[in-house]
Amino acid sequence: MAENNAAKDAAMEMAESARETEWKFPSFTAEMFRGNFRWDLLHPYPEQDPEDKRIGDELIEKTREVMEQHDPILLDETGVFPQATLDGLAKIGLFGMKISKEYGGLGLTQWNYARLLRFMGSYCQTTVTYVSAHQSIGVPQPLKLFGTKEQKQKFLPRLAAGEISAFALTEPDVGSDPAKMSTSATPTEDGSHYLINGTKLWCTNGPDSKLMVVMAQTPPLQKNGKEIKQISTFVVETESEGVELLHRCNFMGLHGLSNGLIKFTNVKVPAENMIGKPGMGLKIALTTLNAGRLGIPAASTGTLAGLIEPIQDWVTSRVQWGVPIGRHQSISKKIAGMVADIFAMDALVYLACSFADRANADIRLEAAAAKYFCTETSHRVLDELIQVRGGRGFETDTSLYNRGERPMPVNRFARDGRVGRIFEGSSEVMHLIMAREAMDTHFKLVMPLMMPKPGQKESKLSLIWNAFKFYSTWYPSLYMPSSTDFNVKHLDGACQEHLAYAARTSKRLARSLFHTMAKFGPKLEFEQILLSHFVEIGVDLFVMGCCLAKAEQLLDKNPKDKTPVELADLWCKGARERIEDHFRKVKHNHNSDYNKVAKAMMEGKYNWMASDVFGDLPPKYRDWAQKTPSLANSEDRELQQASTES
């Protein structure tokens, strides 16, 4: 058990050291968790610059021409990705969307990048994953953030011209916790090269890529008699000797995605291909993922927006019990929720993109909120749309067409989109990131007092004084009424009340979070269910702000069109119900019952219910289970044993 805790502590310490610790620019969400609803950061809702819009419009048209030749239905059925699509996209420069013009790219703003991914996400999610894995997390992004001029000159023009890149972080034994990776990069004797050894799993674009960002362990540092693990990042040419595609992975959706298990055996990489300094690897990986996180939400918004017209057609033309099904209240609720959700997703995505473009806001929380909110929402809505389509929601497009009915890609989109909640940081990990950042102020002020680190410089007295100075003004301020001067001209009474609710509720959120922290102290970290309520409240308040700012902007442009305010109002009403429910569950819950039953389940105490079942594999395949233990790593099996016994 001690070993178990030590391993966990080491992983946490490493993840913590890879975090951005400074808040150089304001973050709407971070401020909100401190009780400060910074409406001034959301309103007036940003507008895309007309010249930038023209660039985006033109590129969307060019992309449309390429995509019209691409058949996503055939791709879904055969799993064969057409090379012509990649060639066509490369020709119009789509592999250089985020690479600056200086290096031969299109130098798109984040806003236009999101528009492009949204557009492609409404048509073929395999293609959008290809394109976004290349630029959101593949070689362009870490080089843009951390590369030297020489590295940029060497690699970016090749990538802008269409060479595909991949991002190799995950390994068979490490996913959400990459700090424990085992791939190694050992310097050669003369220091001119590194030899990479290890295996990387689920590398999107890996089988087709020419260049890959690979995270690997370099020799550890010795500090104060302690060994400090170093993870570093390299650009690897996939044609180098020793790079081997062991297996092409296939999935429940995203058929035809180029994805593989890749083995590196003594792959010789020039030392100058290291991005950043030794030991910066995890920070580079996490920062790359932070910045890249806005791509997936944009694509998932497009997926839903593309279904508005087909679903409208379906719910008005399908008549059951004498009326169109859209008029049965159970269906009305789903389709009304769908359009309100799309409005909210768009409002959130473009606001976060404008923060990223202006480069005067810290977007790590907003990007995590966007990834979490958009992928969870699109998954829920797509599942509801399968329901709205009834039996047709379960039938394939081709089958529908072959018997003479209009196909709608609802179930293909649902299968393709499901992985959005898992890759580039799972929803649970987004919760952890947001919870950690939400408590950052308190961590900085209180943790050095509660859990002093060895070698901590500040005296206890000065720590107490700093905490006192902050809390003596901050805490009473949470009981002061919030300002109601929102400087809005068009929002109706209901929406203005939503705004006032959001402002006062962010104070309530900060109070409740603080009280909970005072109650649990450092143990709060283990109260994930409790923390998730705070995160959910925070996300909903942020999205309420986005919806209201967006509605005000659209009304300002066209006061006669009340549709934006209807959508914002409906979305905010739903959010307020959820928020009140979360506050209730912070106070009254049965979280300890979950812990108890889950522990018993892990010990096999409920296996009696597994009688009269067939087992997971047909008899013919039973030896598969013996040949492939669920945990490949023996150290992990021991830890699992220890934690079940404890």
Ligand X SMILES: Cc1cc2nc3c(=O)[nH]c(=O)nc-3n(C[C@H](O)[C@H](O)[C@H](O)COP(=O)(O)OP(=O)(O)OC[C@H]3O[C@@H](n4cnc5c(N)ncnc54)[C@H](O)[C@@H]3O)c2cc1C
Which residues bind to ligand X, rule: CB under 6 A? 133, 166-170, 175-176, 202-204, 251, 254, 259, 419, 422-424, 426, 428-429, 432, 528
Name residue, tokens 């540092």: 221
* Dist CA 163 CA 40 (whole Å): 42
432 or 503: whose CB is closer to ligand X?
432
- Could you say which of 366, 424, 437, 536 is catalytic? 424
In the bound complex, what is the minimum distance in angstroms from residue 610's beta carbon to ligand X?
A: 22
Please check whether residue 491 is in contact with residue 551, taking contact to mean a CB–CB distance below 8 angstroms: yes
Name residue, tokens 């009780």: 35
Bond before 44 cis per omega within 30 degrees? yes
339 or 438: whose CB is closer to ligand X?
438
55 or 419: whose CB is closer to ligand X?
419
Beta bridge partners of 287: none
In the bound complex, what is the minimum distance in angstroms from residue 181's beta carbon to ligand X?
A: 10
* Dist CA 506 CA 504 (whole Å): 5
Q: In 278-383, which ranges are E strands?
A: 319-320, 323-324
Q: How far apart are the first and last CA of the chain?
A: 7
56 or 178: whose CB is closer to ligand X?
178
* Dist CA 314 CA 392 (whole Å): 10
Beta bridge partners of 583: none
Name residue, tokens 């390429």: 66
In the bound complex, what is the minimum distance in angstroms from residue 120's beta carbon to ligand X?
A: 17
The verdict on whether 395 is a catalytic residue reads: no
46 or 292: whose CB is closer to ligand X?
292
Beta bridge partners of 184: 197, 217
200 or 392: whose CB is closer to ligand X?
200
Sort residue 529 into left (φ over 0), alpha (ψ -120 to 50) or beta: alpha
In the bound complex, what is the minimum distance in angstroms from residue 571's beta carbon to ligand X?
A: 26
Closest residue to ligand X in the complex (CB): 175
In the bound complex, what is the minimum distance in angstroms from residue 425's beta carbon to ligand X?
A: 6
Give the residue from 144, 62, 147 showing the smallest Cα distance to 107. 144
Inter-CA distances, 538 with 63, 345, 397, 505, 590, Å: 36, 15, 39, 10, 22
* Dist CA 389 CA 370 (whole Å): 28
Q: In terms of C-beta density within 10 A (0-12 exposed, 13-18 middle, 19 or more buried), how is residue 601 classed?
A: exposed
In the bound complex, what is the minimum distance in angstroms from residue 317's beta carbon to ligand X?
A: 35
167 or 314: whose CB is closer to ligand X?
167
In the bound complex, what is the minimum distance in angstroms from residue 431's beta carbon to ligand X?
A: 7
Catalytic annotation, residues: 424
